[in-house]
Amino acid sequence: MKGTNLGEFEEVVLLTIAALTDEAYSVAICDEIDRVTERKVKLGVVHAVLNRLEKKGFVRSELGEATKERGGRRKRFFIVTHAGKVALTKVKAQRDELWSLIPDFNLKIA
Amino acid sequence: MNQTIQDHKPPRIPQRFLRWYCKPELLEDIEGDIHEDFNKRYTRSGKRHAHVYYFLDVVRFFRPFVIKKLFKTQNRNVMFKLNTTIAFRHLAKNKLYSFINITGLAIGIAACLIIAHYVIFQLSYDKFHDNADRVYRVHNQTFQNGEDLGTGFYSGYALGPSLIRDVPEIEMQSRVHPYYGGAVVSKVVDSVAVTPFREQDILFVEPAFLQMFTFNFIQGNHNTALDDPSSIVITESTMRKYFGNEPNVVVGQVLKVDGGWANGHYRISGVVQDFPANSHFQFDFLLPIKRVLMRDQYTEEGTDWGWTNFYSYVMLSPQSTEAAAEAKMADLMHQYIPEQLESDGQKQVLSLQNVPDIHLRSEVTGDEFGAVGDIKSVYFMVIIAAFILLIAWINFINLSTAKATERSLEVGIKKSMGALRPQLMSQFLTESFWVNLFAIVLAIGLTYVFMPILSEALGVILEVDMTNPLIVGALLALILAGPVLAGFYPALILSSFKTVTALKGRFVSKKSHAFTVRKGLVVFQFIISTFLIAGTFTVSRQLNFMQNQDTGIDMSRTLAIKGPDTNVSFASFEAFKNNMEQVAGVEAFSSSRSIPGNGYNWGTEARRSGTDRSNNGTVNVTWVDATFLNTYGIEVIAGRDFTEAQRQARNGMIINEATVKAFGLGSPENALTEKIILSGDTMAIRGVVKDHNWQSLHKAYGPAIFLYRFASADFFSLGVNPQNTDKVIKAAEREFEAAFPGNPIEYYFVDDFFNRQYQEDKAFANIFKAFSAFAIFAACLGLFGLASYSVVQKAKEIGIRRVLGASGTHITILFSKRYLILTIIANAIAIPITYYGIKSWLENFAFSIGITAELFLVPMALLLIIATLTISLQTIRAAMANPVKNLRSE
């Protein structure tokens, strides 16, 4: 397995899962990323990332109830694991540190 | 989520595809997601949209992490490796068998690859033009009094411009006027003409010609190259010929053209790459058509539709169709020259033919320019290729099954150890796979080796191109399908042995069945072989017949010299003639405008005097002098030969027997009292000659007329005494140079020249020979396999017979008999097929050898002899073997 660091898109997906709490399943994640980042995300890509995150141990999944709009199929809900939370926190800490080092004027948008 | 969304039924096929490839643990999730999206789209944008996106989503999910292991191979990989090892050991152990098997297949596949190249080439004609799909040649079909006289493409010069005027679908057109008779072209350096060459492929064309067809200009400007009437465009190879191999700038250099149509100096305005070989026309020089239109012949009143020396290409505008344009042009000629057509009782229907179709599907009924292909011959080659592949595979099947004897123990042991039938089959299929793969690799090598030889036989120079998508596809298909098609039956047989019997060595449980199938296959091979041998035999007999048939013309002792194009004067002609007549060994000298095998000079209309124009028929005219008929030994059966004492018109015409018949002139003697109106001129008939083959024996005798011409500069014919040939040729070279300086001499014996017409027939014969040789070879391999199989199987029987006193000869005959019966059966089946094939082929010839029993008996006898030899090889060995050896082995 490749290293357990987080890629950019992986981070977005992981954050979205955390944000959606109980409602985090693939289509919802997709829609949410779409809404927040205004990126058109393909389902297949999200699935690939979810698959990878699960392998890396950052999320786990469980099956929900059968629903009508899915033709009677169950949703797979994702929950951020402890390792996932650690990874997210670590990333945020690193970012914060970098942010704190930036002098004010450098980021003023003209 | 939104609960108001309805559930819809997704499209079935993508859904099934998804279920097929998706890992089961992911399926529910993914299918659900796609379904949910599908429902949303359905409500939002409708059914179609949703269906399309469902399909797209399914395709998008076809990613590595989703796809289940389609080939659960861990275990099979190991088996494949093991089977491969076994296959290699087996191949290495039976070297001769492997060699025969692999080479047999390889030769078959190589033959197919070569044929595939040929077929691809034939189909590729004229597709290299960017606008190929909308460039057409204009054809005209002639009806006289309702009778179809055929389709041609020559027309008057008025046709091209009127097409542009009257048919809006036509975007551009170009008339083409060939430089009939050729010309001598020389380079002008410091006002002096040097390096003269005789050139044939010169075309007068319009500037639009350069737009319609795709020319790659190396030098000069594509758009203006032919605008100036004194410009000339040459090909790259022509540039090399005249200016050497150094890549100079030759635009601006001057060429001198001498040949009668448009003599003069031309400034090179462009150099284009040579056309590839797959073009229906070739050229070395392009001249502006303005030049030839300046001739009096084309500027006089009333010549605009009369001189049918032109043909036209048109390009349709992108949005219009062939049918629309044809509808508007069909009776165009009747709008311009109604009276003339009316009085001739003629109807002219114009039509178009797309340029890429010309090569294989020409609508023209008369002569085309260049070698014309035939879609039938392409089909024929495809069928031959299929036959060859079939024969090769049948061989493989026969040989593999025949090897069963040696494999029975192996199969028995494997079965007793618990091997299942599918496992054994996969073992034999693996073996088949490797044999096929080796064969294909070898075949590719063989293709490279044999392509130059065979492409010569096919009459086209082909380059091996293994990157052609069709070839690549064919190879992939062979790799995938070959092992299964050829390997399945042997695998089925080999794996069917009952364990115990196989171990005991009496292996063939379904003997009769297996044997019948293989007998059937051998019979099939021999049917094809008989067909091909009989075909080869017929083709070479016919070819021989054509080259040795009495044509009614004495050609073997006649030397023809192509006349000069420049510096011709009557004085120089007289000088040459007189000097040549002095040379020892020259028995006759004649000048004419054409010679046998070179076609006629003029095709025109004629009728018997006293009948009206609707009785016009087509006749072919050649101009000759007073010694011509004598030089060529053409027999005059009534009347007299021409005489030098009279001028052209007074000399009248000499006609052949076919003309007498065509115009109802009665007997040859009676014909002398009649007159014929030839293209408007009434002329007396001076003599009648026996029918003779002026053209190839493909063509029947047609009405042909000789007219008198005192001197012609087109061809000089010398009746040569065979003992002095060399001297005469030397003298001719010397005198020709002296009389016509600046003209390269070109000469040939007329029989050789005449037989050049059979080049395509020869190519056909060569192909037949090559492939029938292969078919016989392959069929014999099959027979060999079958015989060896049964000899091994009956080893004990032979032993017992020997012990009881049977002689070796007796046993040989006993065992050979049944195979000979197979060949005889094959022959019997082949006869009707062959008869039909030969008959339809011979119909191409007006003069043919006719179908005789010999055509069938000789090939059959030949095949029987070859078959007997093949079988005897095996049976004699078995019969001579020490019987003790065979009887002891239990």
Structure tokens at B52: 């399309």
pLDDT value at B442 more than 90: yes
Top pLDDT among B245 and B452 is at B452
Answer yes or no: is B871 within a domain: yes
Q: What is the mean pLDDT of residues A47-68?
A: 86
Q: What is the mean pLDDT of residues B159-177?
A: 90
Interface touch A42/B60, C-beta < 8 Å? yes
Answer yes or no: is B98 within a domain: no
Lowest-pLDDT range, A95-104, B105-114, B129-138, B581-590? A95-104
From the list B303, B302, B227, B309, the residue with the least C-alpha distance to B260 is B309
Three-state SS at B860? helix
Answer yes or no: is B483 within a domain: yes
pLDDT digits over B835-849, tens only? 998 888 888 888 888
State the nearest Cα–Cα gap between A90 and chain B, in angstroms.
28
pLDDT value at B808 more than 90: no
Residue with tokens 């072919």: B620
State the nearest Cα–Cα gap between A81 and chain B, in angstroms.
20
Answer yes or no: are the C-beta atoms of B271 and B236 closer than 8 Å.
Answer: yes
From the list B699, B677, B877, the residue with the least C-alpha distance to B795 is B877
Interface touch A70/B57, C-beta < 8 Å? no
What pLDDT is stored for residue A105 in this prediction?
60
Interface touch B39/A69, C-beta < 8 Å? yes
Report which residue type is found at B572: S
Confidence of residue A2 (pLDDT cuts 50, 70, 90): very low
d(CA B376, CA B360): 8
The verdict on B763 and B746 lying in the same domain is no
Residue with tokens 């999206």: B37
Least CB-CB distance to A74: which of B26, B28, B40?
Answer: B28
The verdict on B615 and B476 lying in the same domain is no
State the nearest Cα–Cα gap between B397 and chain A, in angstroms.
48
Instruction: Sketch out chain A's domains with CATH numbers.
Output: 8-105 (1.10.10.10)
pLDDT value at B55 more than 70: yes
State the nearest Cα–Cα gap between A47 and chain B, in angstroms.
8
Confidence of residue B405 (pLDDT cuts 50, 70, 90): low
The verdict on B421 and B569 lying in the same domain is no
Interface touch A43/B2, C-beta < 8 Å? no
Taking contacts as CB-CB distances below 8 angstroms, the residues of chain A near B60 are: 42-44
Number of H helices, E strands in chain A: 4, 2
State the nearest Cα–Cα gap between B220 and chain A, in angstroms.
53
Interface touch B33/A70, C-beta < 8 Å? yes
pLDDT digits over B605-622, tens only? 888 888 887 788 888 999
pLDDT value at B256 more than 80: yes
The verdict on B193 and B324 lying in the same domain is yes
pLDDT value at B146 more than 80: no
Answer yes or no: is B325 within a domain: yes
Interface touch B29/A27, C-beta < 8 Å? no
Element (H, E) at B706: strand B704-708
Least CB-CB distance to B33: which of A27, A48, A52?
Answer: A27
Vertex A25, ends A22 and A29: CA angle to 5°? 100
From the list A71, A76, A75, the residue with the least C-alpha distance to B38 is A71
Top pLDDT among B5 and B112 is at B112
What pLDDT is stored for residue B507 in this prediction?
46
- Domain C-terminal end among B60, B76, B99: B60
**A72 to chain B: nearest residue by CA?**
B32
State the nearest Cα–Cα gap between A108 and chain B, in angstroms.
40
Answer yes or no: is B708 within a domain: yes
The verdict on B387 and B410 lying in the same domain is yes
Q: What is the mean pLDDT of residues B506-526?
A: 68
Answer yes or no: is B74 within a domain: no
From the list A70, A27, A30, A64, the residue with the least C-alpha distance to B8 is A70
What pLDDT is stored for residue B441 in this prediction?
92
DSSP string, B171-236: EEEEEEEE-TT-EEEEEEETTEEEEEEEE--EEEE-HHHHHHS---EEEE-TTTTTTSTTEEEEEH
CA distances (Å), origin B214, targets A16, B209, B217, B276: 59, 9, 9, 11
What pLDDT is stored for residue B268 in this prediction?
92
Which of the residues B29, B34, B42, B65 would you substitute to probe the A interface, choosing the one with the greatest number of A C-beta atoms within 10 Å?
A: B29
d(CA B779, CA B482): 19
Taking contacts as CB-CB distances below 8 angstroms, the residues of chain B near A47 are: 26, 29-30, 33, 61, 65-66
pLDDT digits over B564-603, tens only? 877 678 888 888 999 999 888 898 999 999 999 888 888 8
Confidence of residue B688 (pLDDT cuts 50, 70, 90): very high
pLDDT digits over B66-86, tens only? 777 665 555 667 778 888 888
**B10 to chain A: nearest residue by CA?**
A71
What pLDDT is stored for residue B431 in this prediction?
87
Element (H, E) at B137: strand B135-144
pLDDT value at B124 more than 50: yes
Least CB-CB distance to A69: which of B1, B30, B31?
Answer: B1
What pLDDT is stored for residue A40 in this prediction?
83
What pLDDT is stored for residue B744 in this prediction?
83
B34 contacts chain A (CB < 8 A): yes
List the domain range (segments joined by +) for residue B785.
375-546+759-888
CB neighbour list of residue B148: distance below 8 Å, 6 or more residues apart = B141, B142
The verdict on B425 and B308 lying in the same domain is no
List of long-range contacts for B728-737, beta carbons under 8 Å, 24+ apart:
B728/B559, B728/B583, B728/B585, B728/B586, B729/B559, B731/B579, B731/B580, B731/B583, B731/B586, B732/B559, B732/B561, B732/B580, B732/B583, B735/B576, B735/B579, B735/B580, B735/B583, B736/B561, B736/B564, B736/B576
Taking contacts as CB-CB distances below 8 angstroms, the residues of chain B near A53 are: none
pLDDT value at B506 more than 70: no
Torsions phi, psi for B783 (to 5 deg): -65, -40
Bridging pattern class, strands B170-178 and B147-152? unpaired
Torsions phi, psi for B184 (to 5 deg): -100, 125
d(CA B368, CA B152): 9
Bridging pattern class, strands B202-205 and B285-288? parallel
DSSP string, B272-293: EPPPPSSSS---SEEEEHHHHH
Three-state SS at A40? coil
Confidence of residue A110 (pLDDT cuts 50, 70, 90): low
Torsions phi, psi for B324 (to 5 deg): -65, -45
3-state percent breakdown (helix, strand, coil) of chain A, nearest 5: 65, 15, 25
Torsions phi, psi for B676 (to 5 deg): -125, 135
Confidence of residue B202 (pLDDT cuts 50, 70, 90): very high
Which of the residues A59, A69, A73, A74 would you substitute to probe the B interface, choosing the one with the greatest number of B C-beta atoms within 10 Å?
A: A69
The verdict on B787 and B710 lying in the same domain is no
**Per the structure, how many domains does chain B have?**
4
Answer yes or no: are the C-beta atoms of B402 and B788 closer than 8 Å.
Answer: yes
Q: What percent of chain B has pLDDT over 70?
A: 94
Interface touch B61/A51, C-beta < 8 Å? no
What pLDDT is stored for residue B287 in this prediction?
92
Answer yes or no: are the C-beta atoms of B755 and B519 closer than 8 Å.
Answer: no
Vertex A100, ends A99 and A101: CA angle to 5°? 90
Taking contacts as CB-CB distances below 8 angstroms, the residues of chain A near B36 are: 27, 69-70
What pLDDT is stored for residue A3 in this prediction?
54
The verdict on B776 and B745 lying in the same domain is no
What pLDDT is stored for residue B560 in this prediction?
92
The verdict on B299 and B181 lying in the same domain is yes
Q: What is the mean pLDDT of chain B?
A: 84
- Domain C-terminal end among B750, B784, B815: B750
Top pLDDT among B650 and B528 is at B528
What pLDDT is stored for residue B628 in this prediction?
92
pLDDT digits over B705-760, tens only? 999 888 888 899 999 988 888 889 999 999 998 888 878 888 989 988 888 888 77
Q: What percent of chain B has pLDDT over 90?
A: 12
pLDDT value at B508 more than 60: no
Answer yes or no: are the C-beta atoms of B104 and B395 closer than 8 Å.
Answer: yes
Interface touch A43/B34, C-beta < 8 Å? yes
Three-state SS at B772? helix
Interface touch B32/A70, C-beta < 8 Å? yes
Region at B639 (left for phi over 0; alpha for psi -120 to 50; beta for the rest): left
The verdict on B527 and B564 lying in the same domain is no
Residue with tokens 């196989």: B502
What pLDDT is stored for residue B2 in this prediction?
45
**B32 to chain A: nearest residue by CA?**
A70
Which of the residues B19, B33, B37 would you substitute to probe the A interface, choosing the one with the greatest number of A C-beta atoms within 10 Å?
A: B33
Torsions phi, psi for B536 (to 5 deg): -55, -45
What pLDDT is stored for residue B204 in this prediction?
93
Taking contacts as CB-CB distances below 8 angstroms, the residues of chain A near B28 are: 63, 73-74, 76
State the nearest Cα–Cα gap between B79 and chain A, in angstroms.
30
pLDDT digits over B855-884, tens only? 888 888 888 888 888 888 877 777 777 777
Least CB-CB distance to A71: which of B35, B40, B60?
Answer: B35
State the nearest Cα–Cα gap between A55 and chain B, in angstroms.
11
Which of the given ranges, B335-339, B555-559, B687-691, has the highest pLDDT on average?
B687-691
Lowest-pLDDT range, B398-407, B464-473, B523-532? B398-407
B3 contacts chain A (CB < 8 A): yes
DSSP string, B399-419: HHHHTHHHHHHHHHHHHHTT-
Three-state SS at B627? coil
Residue with tokens 């009292």: B673
Tell me, what DSSP letter sits at residue B67? B
Answer yes or no: is B6 within a domain: no
d(CA B677, CA B696): 28
Answer yes or no: is B229 within a domain: yes
Answer yes or no: are the C-beta atoms of B624 and B706 closer than 8 Å.
Answer: yes
Burial class (CB in 10 A: 0-12, 13-18, 19+), A104: exposed
**B39 to chain A: nearest residue by CA?**
A69
Q: Which residues pair with B747 in a beta bridge?
A: B561
The verdict on B457 and B492 lying in the same domain is yes
From the list B577, B579, B587, the residue with the least C-alpha distance to B719 is B587
What pLDDT is stored for residue B284 in this prediction?
92
Lowest-pLDDT range, A37-41, A47-51, B271-275, B783-787? B783-787
Q: What is the mean pLDDT of residues B429-454?
A: 88
Answer yes or no: are the C-beta atoms of B689 and B671 closer than 8 Å.
Answer: no
The verdict on B729 and B828 lying in the same domain is no
What pLDDT is stored for residue B372 in this prediction?
66
pLDDT value at B485 more than 50: yes
